Amino acid sequence: MNKKWQIYDADEAKVEQLQKKYNINKILATILVNRNIIEEEQIRQFLKPTREDFHNPFLITDMKIAVDRIIEAIEQKQKVTIYGDYDVDGITSITVLKSFLRERGLETQSYIPNRLDEGYGLNKPAIKKIAEAGCELMITVDCGISGVEEIEYANSLGIETIITDHHEPGNQLPKANAIIDNKRKDSQYPFRELAGVGVVFKLIQAISMKLKLKEEEYLKYLDIVCVGTISDIVPLIDENRVIAKLGLMLIRQTKNIGLKAIINTSGYTKIDSGSISFGVAPRINACGRMGKAEEALKLFLSKNLNEVSELSRKLNDYNRIRQETEKEIYENAVKQIEEQHLQDNRTIIIAGENWHHGVIGIVSSKITEMYFKPSILLSFEEDGIGKGSGRSIPGFDLHEALMQCTDSIEKFGGHAMAVGVTVKKSKFQEFKKQFEEIASKQHIEDIIPIVNIDAKINLTDINKDIVESLKQLEPFGEGNKMPIFMFKNLKIDSIRALSEGKHLKVTLKDNNIVINAIGFNIGNLAEEYKIGDKIDIAGVLEINTFNGVETIQINIKDIMKSLS
């Protein structure tokens, strides 16, 4: 697939100014300028954020109403249920709020809908059960903003509701006591991209301030808040960066034995955004995907070492089963795409019979990444109802597109890049046609994947100290990608495919300097290039440790033959 390499045009004067003023190397200064982090306070907040960088939570719409109502529940020992979601964001949200309220003397119930039976969000049968248990106040976390009918139903049963969410609201807001969601149209809060657990963090911060508690009473949960924030792939900027940066420091010395156990079983020795995204998050998410979300919640809340050991083992098992199921559906989906030539469409919408609801979102992500097209995967059950997940490409808003398909779908939710959707089998072809027409009108075939390159550098420009200095830019993630550099006219000294042809291993030479490079999931290129070829590479610089020896290597993001 052709990609466009887009190199930042850094202001050399500003780069030099930052170099001298902050005594940093040129590459680090260049990246800061590229990200428009050039003012003294900006640089301080980005490189060394502190607890002072959190915004005032009472700037959030309805926060005072929510705080007063929860304090009333604490004082009167009312029956409170926390209604969450089955993903990492939802589970960490329940963990934080439940733990915080327990320490205030209020024991709460929690409810997580079963992903396989109930799906995402509020549902009336669940609310009926909650009402029958005597609930007086329901607090939603990471969900609720689209539950207009469900909140109306809760009201009719005498349940008061506080919604905390971070998803896009529809045209009508639910009639809850308070709605804390920074994506509300009337929101004046300076940051709108908090994860669900970030919104919960602001809630407990506000309660702490109202009760005049010490800062530590809410800050101590930053390890769990950090896990949910990084896992939910929200932009790691502004408050999210403060949460992630401070939270990762806390994770390294976490007192949560469940979190410690997940990290240990994941095999990661370094605690960073990568170990959370690829080690911790998949294991927690696997519980929800397999319909066992309560076990992940138990793990975070448990104080019993034996129970934690057993639960962490289960999480590993669920993750293994999830991987096997995902592989099977992915192979089935690719076969269907190739046989029907769906890769020639602007969008890819496919369905299977009884595909596992818990993993089709991951498969959709892989399909979108592979073909660079928006994709939606649906699983049809015997009742003729298809439930699915979709993923998009930059420049195409999935949520907005589905808002134009309301006559061919049953319901949907999500945001620009990821959605959940329900479609009747009888409407499937109509939906596919309608969705493709919407994409056609937006000319998404003209969208070309862009590789944003921070700087063109030579192998002579880098050493271990410079590569190590890039760690100051961590944590990396959405909104703060790992810096990518361009290297030109490197000569291939050796080239081979690894892992049964899946990955690419290359040794590259520039005059007398030799460097190793690894390219994940591009092993097929070993057939296109040969020893002696001159190539240009876009990649990330990293330190590779093997047998105790550290060397610099390039993690390849794209590759092409040199033109000069």
pLDDT tens digits for range 249-260: 999 999 999 999
| Backbone phi, psi, residue 3, to 5° | -125, 150
Label residue 354 exposed, middle or buried (CB < 10 Å: 0-12, 13-18, 19+). Answer: exposed
pLDDT band at 269 (very low <50, low <70, confident <90, very high): confident
Q: Please say if the pLDDT value at position 412 is more than 90.
A: no
Other C-beta atoms lying within 10 Å of the C-beta of residue 223: 23
User: What is the arithmetic mean of pLDDT over 68-93?
Assistant: 97
> For residue 417, what pLDDT is reported?
87
**177-208: pLDDT as tens digits:** 999 999 999 999 999 999 999 999 999 999 99
Q: Is 521 left (phi over 0), alpha (psi -120 to 50) or beta?
A: left
Label residue 491 exposed, middle or buried (CB < 10 Å: 0-12, 13-18, 19+). Answer: middle
Q: State CA 470 to chain mean position distance.
A: 22
Are the C-beta atoms of residues 484 and 540 closer than 8 Å to each other? yes
Query: If we measure between CA atoms, which residue out of 225, 232, 194, 242 comes closest to residue 63?
Result: 194
> For residue 487, what pLDDT is reported?
96
User: Helix (H, G, I), strand (E, B), or coil: what is residue 95?
Assistant: helix
Rounded to whole angstroms, the Cα distance separating 119 from 123 reads 9
Give the tokens for residue 198. 């970030």
What whole-number percentage of the chain has pLDDT above 90?
Answer: 85
Are the C-beta atoms of residues 420 and 450 closer than 8 Å to each other? no
Strand intervals (E) in 416-502: 418-424, 450-453, 455-456, 485-498
Burial annotation 536-559 (CB, 10 A radius, 16+ → b, else e): bbbbbbeeeeeeeeeebbbbbbbb
Q: Sign of torsion, CA 491 497 502 506?
A: negative
| Bridge partners of residue 504, in order along the sequence | 497, 519
- Give CA angle at 353 (352, 354), nearest 5°: 115
CA dist list (Å): 17 to 7, 23, 35, 37, 41? 21, 10, 15, 13, 15
Helix axes 26-34, 12-22, angle to 10 degrees: 120
Q: Is 385 left (phi over 0), alpha (psi -120 to 50) or beta?
A: beta
Other C-beta atoms lying within 10 Å of the C-beta of residue 15: 22
3-class SS string, 352-415: EECCCCCCHHHHHHHHHHHHCCCEEEEEECCCCEEEEEEECCCCCCHHHHHHCCCCCCCEEEEC
> For residue 389, what pLDDT is reported?
93
| Cis omega (within 30 of 0) for bond into 475 | yes
Are the C-beta atoms of residues 126 and 113 closer than 8 Å to each other? yes
Q: Please say if the pLDDT value at position 458 is more than 70.
A: yes
**485-499: pLDDT as tens digits:** 999 999 999 999 998
> For residue 142, what pLDDT is reported?
96
Q: Please say if the pLDDT value at position 414 is more than 80.
A: no
What whole-number percentage of the chain has pLDDT above 70?
Answer: 100
Q: Please say if the pLDDT value at position 290 is more than 90.
A: no
User: What is the arithmetic mean of pLDDT over 101-128?
Assistant: 92
> For residue 564, what pLDDT is reported?
65
User: What is the arithmetic mean of pLDDT over 45-66?
Assistant: 96
**Domains of the chain by range and CATH?**
4-48+451-561 (2.40.50.460), 53-251 (3.90.1640.30), 254-340 (no CATH), 344-446 (3.10.310.30)
Q: Please say if the pLDDT value at position 61 is more than 70.
A: yes
> For residue 511, what pLDDT is reported?
86
State how beta strands 503-510 and 137-141 pair: unpaired
> For residue 1, what pLDDT is reported?
63
Other C-beta atoms lying within 10 Å of the C-beta of residue 311: 23
Q: Please say if the pLDDT value at position 2 is more than 80.
A: no
Query: If we measure between CA atoms, which residue out of 463, 471, 453, 459 comes closest to residue 28?
Result: 471
- Amino acid of residue 10: A
Query: If we measure between CA atoms, which residue out of 538, 540, 490 comes closest to residue 510?
Result: 490
Q: Please say if the pLDDT value at position 416 is more than 80.
A: yes
| Bridge partners of residue 551, in order along the sequence | 544
Q: Please say if the pLDDT value at position 381 is more than 90.
A: no
- Amino acid of residue 67: V
- 67-71, 289-293, 355-359, 473-477: which has the highest mean pLDDT? 67-71
> For residue 411, what pLDDT is reported?
85
